[in-house]
Amino acid sequence: MKLNGAVIPDEIVERVVRARGREHCYADLDPAHTALVVIDLQNAFMEDPVGHAVVPGARDIVPAVNRLAAAVRQADGGVFWVKMTHDDACLGDWSAAFEMLTPERRAKRIGALTEGTRGHELWSALDVRPEDEIVLKYRYSGFLPGTSDLAGRLRAGGFDTLLITGTVTNVCCESSARDASMLNFRTIMVSDGNAALTRAEHEASLTAFYNIFGDVMDTDMLIAALERGRAAKAA
């Protein structure tokens, strides 16, 4: 299956169709119950001088993310910008993650993800609007209980369908998408709205998610689905 931004192997698509009856189980969107979730498009992952784990391809997906944000707002959905965040509690509560890093990498990570730093800020080219919501998370997944209030805020807004975008595809984005699906959200990863360090990692992550956890669609497909949903409600 060829999508803008990724190719999913035919054998996986055939397996999914046998299990679900069609290629895209979430192609019929209810726009008012759909939220765009943008993961970690911060300077820490996008700006070379301050970043601790820069993904160059993350800069390339910004136009697609902005298009989706505009389409979701127009359809009366919600837009949530999620920011990876470090605080002192992480050093104790998540010490295993920091033990794996060299002292230099650990210090750079802390400096880039602490609130109030340039690294923690969202990338300036993102079209963030006053009506959007900003959410902090303290682990890779934005849905891990006790480390983010994202799930509660989505449910409070009446959102049950999520479009996952951001970086890194195979780390925070996939972790968030998997957990969202297991918390009973209808979850779609956006093929051209996620970025990884390599195409191989990006496609492997999307393939694994599509195989079991949810759907994978590209920006054009999702905008068309939002428009169909709006038209159906207006009819």
The pLDDT value given to residue 120: 98
pLDDT of residue 38: 99
Domain-wise residue ranges, the chain: 2-234
Separation between Cα atoms, residue 211 and residue 205, nearest integer Å: 10
Helix (H), strand (E) at residue 80: strand 78-84
Segment 62-83 shows an average pLDDT of: 98
pLDDT for 233: 79
Count of C-beta atoms within a 10 Å radius of residue 78: 21
pLDDT at 197 over 80: yes
| Mean of pLDDT values over 55-81 | 98
Give the neighbor-by-neighbor strand order of the sheet with 78-84: 133-137, 78-84, 34-39, 161-167, 186-195, 215-217
For 31-54, write each residue's pLDDT tens digit: 999 999 999 999 999 999 999 999
The per-residue pLDDT for range 104-140, each reduced to its tens digit, is 999 899 999 999 999 999 999 999 999 999 999 999 9
Using pLDDT thresholds of 50, 70 and 90, give the confidence band for residue 182.
very high
Take residue 109 and report the two structure tokens written for it.
């990570």
pLDDT-derived band at 91 (thresholds 50, 70, 90) equals confident
User: Which residues does 5 contact at the CB level (< 8 Å), separation at least 6?
Assistant: 61, 64, 190, 191, 192, 193, 194, 202, 218
Structure tokens at 199: 């195409």
Given a cut of 90, is residue 98 above it in pLDDT?
Answer: no
Give the helix, strand, coil percentages of the chain, each rounded to 5: 45, 20, 35
* Token pair recorded at residue 231: 């038209």
Report d(CA 2, CA 186) in Å as an integer: 22
Domain 2-234 has CATH 3.40.50.850: yes
- The strand pairing partners of 38, in sequence order, are 81, 165
* HSE-CB of 42 using CA atoms within 13 angstroms: 28
Tell me, what's the pLDDT at 79?
Answer: 98
Q: What is the pLDDT of residues 200-209, one digit of tens each?
A: 999 999 999 9
pLDDT band with cut points at 50, 70 and 90 for residue 89: confident
- Residue of 145, 146, 148, 199 whose CA lies nearest to 40: 148
Which positions ≥6 away from 174 have C-beta within 8 Å?
A: 189, 205, 208, 209
Q: Quick one: DSSP state of residue 155?
A: H
Q: How far is CA 157 from the centre of its chain?
A: 18
Name the pLDDT band for 235 (thresholds 50, 70, 90).
Answer: confident
pLDDT at 80 over 90: yes
Distance separating alpha carbons of residues 145 and 34, to the nearest angstrom:
21
